[in-house]
């Protein structure tokens, strides 16, 4: 089943299209910000949407920590079904660990504490948990005594969410995605969602979810509607209220939109609340304005993205507009694209190292991670093949440059080839957090 939002115009939804255009300008011009997609909803209708080529509407995008909000929805659905008790201890779901976990604070960590990133640890525990037990992250986490009483301090802590996913698997008898599919994905018409698994075959929970931008918008709209979709209650109203309000204070976080409090795998913000993930994956919900904004990208400065939203989009809501501004925005959205490499033509260049002629075109073939990465290279454009897009050019000194985009993720790889020796150097624009070049793509079902 496919559920799509009705398409409208900014003016019809009470949004000044010039503010949306100004937001696009800011996203494209701000240092350390690179947009890949935008979906803007108001009153449950599409006010604006667009994808910067070579990213496209139908493709999934790695959401990194925005995955946490999908995991939390799975927990909320299980709470509604009576399978999970928010105030039950984590240990009660893993009785086989009872004898191992002796610290009293660890034994008092509840599901509620996990949801609020309030396990009592003062800092991230993932590396330490995995070092304590390389095969059972939940056990390693519970063997780390909290620094404070659970529920009293905030620390962004991946094993909290990993353990939530493990609890869902434990109480439902299947995978997290198996649980989400009939209870969340199918009702919302989310046709494509996949999750990176760890070495034990379990979803990471805290990261690794691949979904299209429309799925992000739908999750935000579900919460904006109080957990109801097409007349069907999916999440309890009380769950939504708790998830989207401060459950633990976090005033020590550095950026203003990260220090407004934390709910259930949602950040409170200066305006509304949001789920977010590394390098600029956002699900922003503005209840007062009845707005949902979904964004993907490759942005190192995530605060700058939100600053642009508050500066340009927020004042445009309930602002004046006109049909000409709507049409100008529509044309702009239809022509979005990330610039291809600029430089000398590859034509006339002999095969060199990993870069070889492929008919009238070129192909880059690089051995990485014990496998082979191969992609056609466009000149002055992005050539797309599968989950890869590439663009190439020659420098004045003859150095051959190829940029490879992994278009189901935020990531871009810069490849440089010495024309004399064929030697290759590579550098990431943004460092992948849990994958290499051969696995930066939608996981197989």
- Does residue 321 lie within any of the structural domains? no
- Specify whether the CB–CB gap between 300 and 16 falls below 8 A: no
Closest CA to 389 of 51, 63, 65: 51
- Does residue 362 lie within any of the structural domains? yes
Low-confidence stretches of the chain (pLDDT beneath 50): 1-2
Q: How far apart are CA 366 and CA 413, in angstroms?
A: 12
- Specify whether the CB–CB gap between 43 and 290 falls below 8 A: yes
Quick one: 177 exposed, middle or buried, by C-beta within 10 A (0-12, 13-18, 19+)? buried
Token pair listed for 322: 């006109």
Q: How many Cβ atoms from other residues are within 10 Å of residue 113's Cβ? A: 24
Q: How far apart are CA 134 and CA 380, in angstroms?
A: 46
- Does residue 239 lie within any of the structural domains? no
Using the 8-state DSSP alphabet, how is residue 181 labeled? I
Q: How far apart are CA 32 and CA 36, in angstroms?
A: 13
Closest CA to 11 of 409, 326, 431, 392: 326
- Specify whether the CB–CB gap between 405 and 424 falls below 8 A: no
- Does residue 429 lie within any of the structural domains? yes
Q: How far apart are CA 42 and CA 19, in angstroms?
A: 14
Displacement of CA 291 from its chain's centroid (Å)? 19
Look at residue 3 in the predicted model and tell me its pLDDT.
Answer: 64
Look at residue 401 in the predicted model and tell me its pLDDT.
Answer: 96
- Does residue 70 lie within any of the structural domains? no
Q: What is the Cα gyration radius of the chain?
A: 23
- Specify whether the CB–CB gap between 143 and 133 falls below 8 A: yes
Look at residue 1 in the predicted model and tell me its pLDDT.
Answer: 43
- Does residue 100 lie within any of the structural domains? no
Expressed as residue numbers, the domain containing 428 is: 355-439
Coil, helix or strand at residue 204: coil
- Does residue 380 lie within any of the structural domains? yes
- Does residue 307 lie within any of the structural domains? no
Number of domains in the chain: 1
């Amino acid at each position: 089943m496919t559920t799509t939002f009705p398409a409208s115009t900014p003016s019809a939804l009470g949004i000044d299209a010039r503010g949306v255009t100004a937001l696009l300008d800011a996203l494209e011009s701000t240092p350390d910000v690179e947009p890949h997609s935008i979906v803007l909803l108001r009153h449950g209708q599409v006010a604006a949407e667009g994808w910067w080529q070579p990213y496209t509407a139908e493709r999934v995008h790695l959401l990194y920590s925005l995955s946490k909000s999908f995991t939390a929805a799975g927990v909320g659905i299980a709470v509604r079904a009576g399978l999970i008790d928010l105030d039950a201890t984590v240990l009660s779901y893993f009785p086989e660990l009872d004898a191992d976990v002796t610290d009293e604070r660890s034994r008092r960590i509840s599901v509620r504490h996990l949801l609020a990133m309030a396990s009592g640890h003062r800092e991230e525990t993932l590396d330490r948990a995995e070092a304590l037990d390389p095969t059972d992250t939940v056990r390693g986490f519970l063997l780390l005594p909290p620094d404070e009483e659970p529920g009293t301090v905030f620390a962004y802590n991946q094993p909290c969410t990993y353990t939530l996913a493990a609890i869902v698997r434990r109480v439902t008898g299947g995978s997290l995605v198996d649980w989400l599919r009939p209870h969340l994905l199918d009702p919302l018409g989310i046709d494509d969602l996949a999750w990176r698994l760890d070495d034990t075959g379990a979803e990471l929970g805290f990261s690794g979810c691949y979904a299209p931008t429309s799925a992000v918008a739908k999750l935000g709209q579900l919460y904006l509607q109080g957990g109801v979709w097409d007349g069907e209650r999916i999440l309890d109203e009380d769950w939504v209220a708790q998830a989207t309000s401060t459950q633990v204070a976090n005033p020590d976080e550095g950026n203003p939109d990260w220090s407004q409090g934390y709910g259930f795998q949602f950040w409170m913000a200066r305006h509304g609340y949001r789920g977010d993930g590394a390098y600029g994956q956002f699900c922003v919900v503005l209840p007062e304005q009845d707005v949902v904004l979904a964004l993907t990208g490759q942005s190192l400065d995530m605060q700058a993205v939100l600053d642009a939203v508050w500066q340009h989009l927020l004042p445009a809501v309930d602002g004046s507009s006109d049909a000409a501004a709507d049409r100008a925005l529509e044309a702009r959205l239809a022509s979005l694209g990330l610039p291809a490499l600029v430089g000398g033509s590859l034509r006339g260049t002999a095969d060199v190292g990993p870069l070889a002629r492929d008919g009238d075109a070129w192909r880059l073939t690089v051995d990485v991670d014990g496998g082979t990465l191969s992609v056609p290279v466009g000149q002055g454009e992005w050539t797309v093949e599968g989950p890869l897009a590439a663009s190439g050019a020659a420098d004045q000194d003859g150095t051959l440059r190829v940029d490879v985009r992994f278009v189901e993720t935020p990531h871009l790889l810069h490849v440089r080839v010495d024309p004399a020796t064929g030697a290759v150097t590579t550098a990431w624009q943004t460092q992948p957090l849990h994958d290499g070049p051969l696995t930066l793509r939608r996981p197989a079902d």
